[in-house]
């Protein structure tokens, strides 16, 4: 399309025509170029939307990817701690079981000792019941040399009584040992149960972390694929957008050439030396951005701001700054709805970001006539009028003429 417009423009410049015929031909080319720019602008808007969507998808995927990686790192750290806790719990449970086994052995021994002592006491009781004396007493009397030796018998009886008391004492001690052994066994049993519960909980924690790791790893792989796909889409959209931008820039340059060509075939008049008295303000409002190089608030690139931005509400009527002929009325990517008026002598004014255009190419307008409405089409941060003054198509500071 750019090549075709160039050939048509070249033909318009080369073929000798009458002044009015040349102007009419240039107007026709301006209409064709405006239509082409409008279509290309729509394509550019679609590309911009695709890039925006792909960028958002990429940012979301990268954020989710970072979150998943953080979760995975936490799970890996927690897994090591949980595994150590499980090992410690298993060791504690093993120790508790060993202690329980030892306590059980002591319980068995204590139970046997109590039984033995109990049987000894029972034999004393049976003998005493049957003879009226302890077995030790009978044995001592029978073993003596005579019953007249009272002192000797008393000593022997005393020894027998002490033997019986010692047996009872041993029985009592055995019973105490048995009670202690039973208490120890109960305590060890509770400890074993508690340690086993801790070990089971630790093992469950390890299993949960391992399961979480598998889930996060799978999610991480999915997010990586999503990120790569979003990145590929963004890169493809960016490449397509750059191609369209290059074409649009070439066509915009043709607009400048078109204005310059029209000026070269039009007699120089007062427009070439316009002063402050010749233009009126297209809208009333503050200058929100002056003419000159600046950091663009939309593209974030340092570039020439080819006009001034005048703050105005959405839908505010835009007046023609001077009488002239409309040579361009169409859409550009950055300018949005864009109108240029040729005032003669190579001087023209242009009006960008309109919400609606009210004139067409070739139409003659009077100074102060409403040609459009303030809007925010194209690259903007809000409603305003971008106003340009051009000499032979080259932008100049509008404040030199207002």
Tens of pLDDT, residue by residue over 99-121, are: 888 888 888 888 888 788 777 77
For 221-235, how does the pLDDT look when each residue is reduced to its tens digit (9 = 90+)?
Answer: 888 888 888 888 877
Distance, CA of 104 to CA of 112 (rounded, Å): 12
Q: Which of 128, 146, 129 is nearest to 137 (CA)?
A: 128
**pLDDT over 50 at 3, yes or no:** no
pTM of the model: 0.43
- SS3 assignment for 332-375: ECCCEEEEEEEEECCEEEEEEEEEEECCCCCCEECCCCEEEEEE
Contacts of 11 (CB under 8 A, 6+ apart): none
* Domain membership flag for residue 114: yes
Same domain membership, residue 276 and residue 201: no
8 A C-beta contact, residue 314 and residue 353 = no
Last residue in a domain, options 198, 228, 258: 228
**Residue 319 has what pLDDT?**
98
Same domain, 211 and 325: no
DSSP 395: E
Whether residues 331 and 211 share a domain: the answer is no
**254 or 211: whose pLDDT is higher?**
211
Same domain, 302 and 213: no
**What's the pLDDT tens digit per position in 142-164?**
554 554 555 555 565 566 567 66
* 161 in a structural domain: yes
Phi, psi of 334 (to 5 degrees): -80, -40
**Whether residues 281 and 388 fall in one domain:** yes
Instruction: Report the pLDDT value the prediction gives residue 148, as an integer from 0 to 100.
Output: 54
Higher pLDDT: 23 or 359? It is 359
* Domain contains 324: yes
pLDDT value for 71:
83
Identify which has the larger pLDDT, 386 or 203.
386
Q: pLDDT (tens digit, 9 = 90+) per residue, 40-78?
A: 555 555 656 666 776 787 788 788 878 888 887 887 788
Tokens 């999503």 belong to which residue? 226
Specify if 24 maps to a domain: no
Both 291 and 201 in one domain: the answer is no
Higher pLDDT residue, 366 or 177?
Answer: 366
- Lowest-pLDDT choice from 130-144, 153-167, 214-228, 363-377: 130-144
**Claim to verify: residue 222 and residue 73 sit in the same structural domain:** yes
CA distance 189 to 63: 51
Same domain, 207 and 299: no
Q: How many domains does the chain have?
A: 2
Does 5 have pLDDT greater than 80?
Answer: no
pLDDT, the chain, mean: 77
Query: Do residues 196 and 334 both lie within one domain?
Result: no
Domain range spanning residue 316?
266-402
**Are residues 222 and 326 both part of a single domain?**
no
- Report the distance separating Cα 160 and Cα 20, nearest Å: 156
Q: Per the structure block, which two tokens stand in for 328?
A: 């361009």
Q: Which CATH number do you get for residue 315?
A: 2.70.70.10
Q: Are residues 271 and 192 in the same domain?
A: no
């Amino acid at each position: 399309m750019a090549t075709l417009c160039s050939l048509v423009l070249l033909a318009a410049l080369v073929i000798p025509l009458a002044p009015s015929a040349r102007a009419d031909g240039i107007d026709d080319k301006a209409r064709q170029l405006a239509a082409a720019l409008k279509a290309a602008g729509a394509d550019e808007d679609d590309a911009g939307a695709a890039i925006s969507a792909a960028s958002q998808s990429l940012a979301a995927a990268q954020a989710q990817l970072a979150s998943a990686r953080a979760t995975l790192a936490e799970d890996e750290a927690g897994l090591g701690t949980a595994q150590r806790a499980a090992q410690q719990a298993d060791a504690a449970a093993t120790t508790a079981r060993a202690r329980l086994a030892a306590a059980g052995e002591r319980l068995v021994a204590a139970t046997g000792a109590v039984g033995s002592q109990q049987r000894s006491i029972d034999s004393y009781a049976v003998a005493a019941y049957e003879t009226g004396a302890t077995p030790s007493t009978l044995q001592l009397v029978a073993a003596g040399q005579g019953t007249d030796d009272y002192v000797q018998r008393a000593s022997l009886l005393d020894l027998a009584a002490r033997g019986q008391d010692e047996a009872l004492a041993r029985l009592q001690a055995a019973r105490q040992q048995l009670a202690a052994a039973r208490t120890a066994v109960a305590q060890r049993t509770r400890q074993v149960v508690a340690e086993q519960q801790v070990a089971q909980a630790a093992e469950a924690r390890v299993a949960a972390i391992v399961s979480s790791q598998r889930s996060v790893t799978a999610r991480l792989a999915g997010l990586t694929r999503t990120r790569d796909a979003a990145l590929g889409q963004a890169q493809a959209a960016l490449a397509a957008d750059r191609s369209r931008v290059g074409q649009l820039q070439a066509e915009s340059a043709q607009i400048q050439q078109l204005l310059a060509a029209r000026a070269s075939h039009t007699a120089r008049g007062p427009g070439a030396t316009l002063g402050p008295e010749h233009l009126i303000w297209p809208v009333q409002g503050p200058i929100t951005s002056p003419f000159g190089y600046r950091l663009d608030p939309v593209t974030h690139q340092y570039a020439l701001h080819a006009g001034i931005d005048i703050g105005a509400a959405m839908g505010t009527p835009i007046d023609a700054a001077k009488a002239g002929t409309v040579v361009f009325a169409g859409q550009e990517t950055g300018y949005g709805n864009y109108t240029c008026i040729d005032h003669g002598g190579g001087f023209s004014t242009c009006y960008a970001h309109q919400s609606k255009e009210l004139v067409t190419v070739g139409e003659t307008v009077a100074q102060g006539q409403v040609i459009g409405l303030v809007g925010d089409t194209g690259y903007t941060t809000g409603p305003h009028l971008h106003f340009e003054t051009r000499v032979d198509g080259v932008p100049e500071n509008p404040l030199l003429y207002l």
